[in-house]
A and B are shown apart, each in its own frame.
Chain A
Amino acid sequence: MKIAIKLAYRNLIGAGLRTWLNVIVLSFSFVVIIWMRGIINGWNRQAKDDMTAWEIGGGQYWHEKYDPFDPFTLSESHAPVPEELIPIINRGEMEPYLISQGTLYPRGRMQTIIVKGINPKQDIFLLPSQKLDTLITDAIPAVTGSIMARNLNITRGDRMMLQWRDAGGTFDATDIVITEIFSANVPNVDQGQIYISLENLQKMMNLPGEATIITYRDGHSPGLTELDGWNHKTKQELTSSVDELIKVKSVGTSVMYVILLLLAMLGIFDTQVLSIFRRQKEIGTYIALGYTRRQVVGLFTVEGTMNAVLAAIVGAFYGIPFLALQAKTGWTMPMDTSDFGMAIAQTLYPAYSAGLVIMTVIVIMFTTMIVSYWPSRRIARMNPTEALRGKIQ
């Protein structure tokens, strides 16, 4: 085996430019596949981190009638905060928020929106809720996201009328002033909604002490899986949509891996076929020297597979600095991601793991081995005498 590796190495280096072309193409596949998988991993991590920081915390309790995909449920999905959670809320480890519907009239245009009431002093979410504490005597301070602000063409300091119906169905209206516009990578906290203080919304809705969702801080689960009238949603459940999306995206990007690998493997396959065709005398000599046919096949397979080893080394030379730089500076997508409707940052930071790199190397090595072995099987069918004479078979 040692001799086979030595011979394979010499033959490869001896082939000169042909080998290096193969190696460069294959090394490119190595780097690009690791980078792409890193981007997908990074997106997965970033999406979940952003959702934790902006929307779901460590998990939530939803009012049993609340269904985020059915706005019809909103008018009924509220209840007093359960007594057992009140001490935890007072400690700041949980935050209730109330959700209602309203109509906003920015510059006389009518826009149906979701109004969320949140505690201005909360620090579970990154929302700039402290801006809801702004003192305005004749209006209610409100914050909104940048997507919503762009859609409504509003800026900080703008005043507009908010109309809503209270729990009894009576219309009410007041002015709101936008005290802050935040930018989040999670569209669920931005699109079509405004935030006002929980106390204000409870008063407006005539629902004192009531909430729709209660969120706990990441890593601080109160451990109550059963709460009468409330459904517990773990972080895993709440981020399952991201997992599904990543799964779909992984399948999609696999097509790119296959194309890249195909290009590289095509080169290796061609080289192997050419080698066997041109090196018949050499094959005959090996057999004459006592090599079994299997050993000769093995020699050629090792030679082909060594392309991948060299590609890994070459790829490491330029790939490691490139991948490290990418992990630091990130990859900024050329198009605006805010309208994608999913938690995705404009700049994605790839995340590489040892498992990802090892798995990629193994897959490419194995594929190269198969592709190298495939044409080498012909050697087993060769007549050694004819091969020694260099006669084409």
Chain B
Amino acid sequence: MKRILLIITTLLFTVFVSSQNADDILKKVESNISSDNRIFESTMIINGARSSRTITSKSYVVGDKQSFTEYLSPAREKGTKMLKLENQLWIYSPSTDRIIQIAGHMLRQSVMGSDLSYEDMMDDRKLTDIYSSKVTGNDNIEGRETWILELTAKVTDVAYQTRKMWIDTERYVPLREELFAKSGQMLKRTTMSEVENINGRWFPTKIVYKDLMKQGGGTEFKITQVQFNQKIPDHIFTKASLKQ
């Protein structure tokens, strides 16, 4: 009997520690990745079923509630701007000179034909607030030791019921993420690489998104230049700036 009690206590303790660890890991990842604000330039290579396209853009991000992106190339997309404030998203298209709000079913459409949908950009809550997590194992990704974290939704209004994340044990940077539907079907896979130390923080500069439902080779997102904690004027995050 004593033996059984000891085993149960040990198991409960292990689960508790593992849960604590997973939450701590996530918090460290969030603090490492997030910043008060950042300005970055990026290149998005969309590998479609038939051809590939490259789109460059410049983004201004404050916290995780406000972001403003201006597309710089190709010529067809140049001048297109996207503004996200809390849970609202607007797009300005220079060809029509119109601002449209992306809402409802339009959020399911892909961004510029990529593997990212608008609604992927909308969920800005902290992972620790909406998921309970546990460490389920270890793995080695391209020579880096990682913890495998399994995140299960603890709230009902969450996009993905479960997530699996591979976190670099030393740098606290996610190196891979898999997003699952309620049925267990894997929907998307994200791979982060080219982790660089920028201003004292480890940051993945290359992210490959793959919508597993779609054909094509995924979308490669490469950050070409990033600056943290810069002074970004407030007027950027207004609808008026979309038409400027």
Contact = CB atoms under 8 A, between A and B. Distances in A.
A166 interface: yes
B116 to A, nearest CB: 12
Given A105-B213, A108-B214, A109-B215, 16 more contacts: A71-B105, A74-B105, A101-B105, A109-B214, A110-B110, A112-B105, A163-B181, A168-B158, A170-B156, A170-B157, A170-B181, A172-B182, A173-B181, A173-B183, A173-B213, A174-B183
Nearest to B185: A173
15 contacts: A71-B104, A71-B105, A101-B105, A103-B108, A108-B49, A109-B214, A110-B211, A112-B108, A161-B185, A165-B159, A170-B158, A170-B159, A172-B161, A173-B183, A173-B213
Contacts of A112: 105, 108-109
Contact of A171 (B110, B182, B214): B182
B94 interface: no
A170 B105 contact: no
B207 interface: no
Given A105-B213, A108-B213, A108-B215, A171 B108 contact: no
B153 interface: yes
Contacts of A389: none
Interface in B190-224: 211, 213-216
A172 B183 contact: yes
B8 interface: no
Interface in A48-81: 71-72, 74-75
Interface in B150-177: 153, 156-161
Contact of A172 (B103, B156, B181, B215): B181
A170 B182 contact: yes
A278 interface: no
B110 A168 contact: no
Interface residues of A, number: 23
Interface residues of B, number: 25
A220 interface: no
Interface in A68-109: 71-72, 74-75, 101, 103, 105, 107-109
Contacts of A334: none
B156 to A, nearest CB: 4
B107 to A, nearest CB: 10
Contact of B187 (A110, A163, A168, A169): A163
A108 B218 CA distance: 12
Contacts of B187: 163, 171, 173
B108 A72 contact: no
A161 B179 CA distance: 16
Contacts of A74: 104-105
Given A103-B108, A172-B182, A163 B153 contact: no
Contacts of B153: 170
A166 B183 CA distance: 12
A74 B216 CA distance: 31
Contacts of A75: 104
B181 to A, nearest CB: 4
Nearest to B110: A110
A112 B103 CA distance: 14
Interface in A275-298: none
Contacts of B161: 170-172
Contacts of A72: 103-105
Among A72, A161, A170, chain B packs the most CB atoms within 10 A around the CB of A170
Contacts of A174: 181, 183, 185
Contact of A166 (B104, B110, B182, B214): B182
Interface string A103-134: 10101111010000000000000000000000
A107 B108 CA distance: 18
Contacts of A71: 104-105
A103 B117 CA distance: 12
A209 B159 CA distance: 23
A171 B157 CA distance: 10
Contacts of B213: 103, 105, 108, 110, 161, 163, 173
A354 B96 CA distance: 54
B158 A169 contact: yes
A105 B104 contact: no
Contacts of A170: 153, 156-161, 181-182
A107 B161 CA distance: 25
Interface string A137-172: 000000000000000000000000101011011111
Nearest to A72: B104
A66 B49 CA distance: 37
Nearest to A160: B213
A171 B153 CA distance: 12
Contacts of B215: 107-109
A101 B49 CA distance: 25
